[in-house]
Homo-oligomer: A and B are copies of this chain.
Amino acid sequence: MPQRRRAATPAPVFAALGDELRLRLLARLGRGEPMSISRLTTGSGISRQGVTKHLRVLAGAGLVRSSRQGKESLWRLERRRLEEARRSLDLISRQWDESLSKLKMFVESDRSD
């Protein structure tokens, strides 16, 4: 039975997405074909170790996954987390919608917390 874990906080995922270079890496990996580190390094503008660090951040957030293949490690996108993140944004956004319609109905119901 696949354990449906309660979704952890999406903050780390967003933090991982909050970097221009990491977004570019994701976009490249988003083409579907797994890529090696050196391949991802060419055109990135930073050193190989820099790319490695970024990849590990992405992996830490569960956005990518790597598998050693011979002398190179291939990285591919992990789409599940992207969708989870998208749902998180939906949640806030939609909550906003519902609050608006509730406001229209009840006009006022202040809850000081």
* A interface residues (Cβ-Cβ under 8 A, vs B): 9-20, 22-23, 26-27, 30-33, 39, 42-43, 77, 79, 82-83, 85-86, 89-90, 92-93, 95-96, 99-100, 102-103, 110, 112-113
Contact B20 A18 (CB under 8 A): no
Contact A86 B90 (CB under 8 A): yes
Give the interface centre of A27, A92, A102, A112 by most chain B CB atoms within 10 Å. Answer: A92
A interface secondary structure, majority: helix
Contact B96 A79 (CB under 8 A): yes
Contact of A16 among B18, B92, B103, B113 (CB under 8 A): B18
Contact A15 B11 (CB under 8 A): no
- Counting from the closest, the 4 A-B pairs by CB-CB distance are A15-B18, A32-B99, A14-B17, A14-B18
Nearest residue (CB) in B for A28 is B113
Smallest Cβ distance from A60 to chain B, in angstroms?
12
